Structure 1
């Protein structure tokens, strides 16, 4: 029964990975989904004595592929829900977990139990942060397909990862139970099949990149055009983008339209997949002007970030680099044609 359940999980994972790869090569969320599927497939094979025996000499390779699975789960979540690109930074959790796992696998035997406990605790931390990402960006998500997906499936997957890591921590402490492997196989079959059902029929909008504003998806009626005109007035003349903690709910209330209608218009007509990205267009545009202005040459980057509505320097630096390919300080140096006038200028 255990092998049958693991076979079901493996079949579902292969179908999911193939479907994601075929439907959108190169897109970060799809590629992250493929990598995560491969790591779960490796875990499915490696976590059972029967399946390890079946794969024989391939077992070390499979074990290696499974070591950083929680890092790839986290990568999939931030790529899908935060529209983050795959980069050295977003791959760092996977790399770190894999290296730590290698030390626990090949390192001194007396240190192995402690290393695996730390490894599993880190896995729990990344799973918890993934859940936090799902909840944190829910309100500002402008893609209806993603909004519907957040709670019912990926929240459950996060819970599964946390529970599974809990089992592994228990085993590291010497707690053993005959039903561990059968329960794990059952959970894998259920979640992997559910994942295949969701992602093989996923709407293109779920993984689609932001569409340029110059190519609206449909002809606007007079009511929608009035809302967009009012939105532009509030954002530009009213400088709503300067407000720290601005939400789409507050903006919809100020304009006088239902929140769901404003979400749809910003997504369909302006091409933004999340509200933060929409607001950052205005903030980064203003930041470019400030950083290129000789009169602001001695103003710290952090002061500019706070003045433009960012709550901290980190999100500003990340948003600016995503938009321009440069850090704020690099942009300033190039625009002013000289070295930064402020020693150790952050950013």
Structure 2
């Protein structure tokens, strides 16, 4: 097969990948455009489409500079996408945008200035733009694995491993190929292999994301400032009646729900240090997957930390509004409720009530308007 045939096949494969990626990005924005994970997924799809249209071996041209700029920050965007997809509390920050802007500038300079000049800057920038995506991919792996056990959404748990492993493997293999090649330009055969691998990866991701049914993967996350319609604020908790956390869905086994809530509200196992899904399942005599399903599909929680924190926060709110505990430090209350440090407690408390623990105590437990605590809901988000 001559060089022309290889180039034609390479171009066709990359065009197919770019078209499929643009379709995926548009579909995510249309269906879930208000969610951070969907927006970041669309941004990643557009960036990889730009990369497919302008791979590292292409002849630099000012006309292709926008494509180089769009694709330069793909490693960062992939990391942010996995954070948002697998962590319901994650929100992009301003510094993430600024960092992406730096990569975009570097990609544009590499295409329009450095590579045409064939200087040292081209070699250094090319190496950085090759290795940085690998670094972010490894960071995505570490964070995805760290939060795996906490995830209660079955389909999302099944997606974690294959998605991250495939993208990291693709990034690593072809980063090594380009580094061993000794230049920014890969050989025609290596470029064709990369294009084929990219198309297979894109097809698999599109099939998994576009074929997803229901809200299990991209589910809206309620925030105190924007409570969902089904959320109903509850009255201040009383000592005589333990805080119900969420009403079980109709299909949840009432006996299992009662046993679970008994352990949580009466035995207060949520106060135990480093309580895990496995340990709680053992206490209930259930397989771990059944407990995950019960908490997720029956009670509406998407991760185990949120489930535990609902009880811990209710416990802390009772203590903060108890006149007999008015002199007890906030740190002591947080630790007694099961939190390991003050920082996570303060963040979780303000996200739930809209107030700091100190302000909540001072106001007697009254939340600010629009930030009523959402401890009772009959939603199904599994």
- TM-score > 0.5 by shorter chain: yes
Unmatched tracts of structure 2, length 5 or more: 1-8, 222-229, 232-244, 364-382
Distance 1:26 1:248 in 2: 31
1:308 to 318, 332, 337: 337
Alignment of 1:1-347 (within 5 A): 1-47=9-55, 57=63, 59-88=64-93, 92-93=95-96, 95-103=98-106, 105-106=108-109, 111=121, 113-167=123-177, 174=183, 177-178=186-187, 179-204=189-214, 205-209=216-220, 216-220=248-252, 224-290=253-319, 295=325, 299=329, 301=331, 304-325=333-354, 330-333=356-359, 335-336=361-362
* Residue correspondences, number: 324
Of 243-252 and 128-137, the range deviating more from structure 2: 128-137
Deviates more, 1:308-317 or 1:289-298: 289-298
Given the superposition, is the C-alpha separation of residues 87 and 293 from structure 1 closer, same or farther in structure 2, using an over 3 Å criterion?
farther
Distance 1:114 1:147 in 2: 38
The 2-side partners of 1:126 and 1:304 are apart by 38
Query: Take 2:178 and 2:96, find their aligned partners in 1: how far apart are those partners?
Result: 19
* RMSD, aligned CA: 3.2
Decide whether aligned partners of structure 1 residues 235 and 120 sit closer, same or farther in structure 2, where only a CA change above 3 A counts: farther
Task: Summarize the Cα distance change of 1:322–1:182 in structure 2 as closer, same or farther, 3 Å threshold.
Answer: farther
Instruction: Return the index of the structure with the highest Cα Rg.
Output: 2
Cα distance per residue 1:207-228 (max 9 Å; x no partner): 12368676754344xxx11111
Native 8 Å contact 2:69 2:105 kept in 1? yes
Distance 1:324 1:162 in 2: 44
Which consecutive residues of structure 1, in runs of 5 or more, have no partner in the other structure?
A: 338-347
The runs of 4+ residues in structure 1 deviating greater than 6 Å are: none
Cα distance, 1:218–1:28 mapped onto 2, change above 3 Å: farther
Contact 2:152 2:303 in 1 (8 A): yes
TM-superposition CA deviations, 1:90-132 (whole Å, max 9, x none): x634531431452475498655544554454443332112112
In structure 2, relative to structure 1, the CA distance for the partners of 1:279 and 1:114 (3 Å cut) is same
Give the Cα separation in 2 of the matches to 1:317 and 1:168.
47
What is the rounded CA distance, in whole Å, between the counterparts of 2:185 and 2:72 in structure 1? 21
Higher helix share: 1
